[in-house]
Amino acid sequence: MNRNRTRTRTAALLVGIVVLLGVGALLVAGGRDDRSETEAVRFLPTRPVTPGPADSVMWWSPVHGEPLGLAVDGPDVAVAALDEVRLIDGDDGRTRWKATFPGVRRYRPALGADRVAATSETELALFDRADGARIATVAFAGPGPAAVLPAPGGGPVVVAGSETGAVVAVDAGSGAVLWSVSNPGAVTVAPRATPGQSW
């Protein structure tokens, strides 16, 4: 098998994210192509790719910049993008609300109960799930993953970890810090609750 065919077959299996005018678009190409690399390039369509609905797409929704991560809970989809957190209706793709959050990056928002939480390099922010109002802002050596977890005998708690080794637990209702610790290393996976766990 020559090098040109190998490159062409590899290129035919690419899955990529393209950012066009602030709209994230997922492109999937599959199949097998035995033409030479030159023939395959000539075969590519010359018209530009326009983001928008296609026959196999239920809905699409533009976001501000490149989507960095998303969380799904019931009919809601929370998306972190460039300096923004957005809640999207999972049934029709309509944006329910969007909130400015400078510095949000790399990690998906936490979505649960009546809260959406996200981290930046300096803050953990809690938003009202219904309308996007900012409930609380907590100083946080982030960024890192977060989770909205049930607390036995009380309301939900937001727990966030950090690439710097910090872990903080915040009352999801008031935004009050319940506890925080710092350890060597990095936390890169969202916390999980153990049944019957107490805080």
Per-residue pLDDT tens digits for 5-19: 444 333 333 333 333
Residue 145 in this model has a pLDDT that exceeds 90: yes
- Quick: pLDDT tens for 70-83: 899 999 999 998 89
The reported pLDDT for the residue numbered 71 is 92
Asked whether the CA dihedral 62, 127, 178, 150 is positive or negative, the reply is: negative
Strand partners, 138: 124
Helical spans, DSSP H, in the chain? 3-11, 37-43
Distance CA 62, CA 49 (A): 15
The pLDDT of residue 32 is above 60: no
Mean pLDDT is lowest, of 54-63, 140-149, 153-162, for 54-63
* pLDDT given for residue 153 in this prediction: 74
pLDDT of residue 73: 94
The answer, yes or no, to whether residue 108 has pLDDT greater than 60, is yes
Share of the chain above pLDDT 70, in %: 70
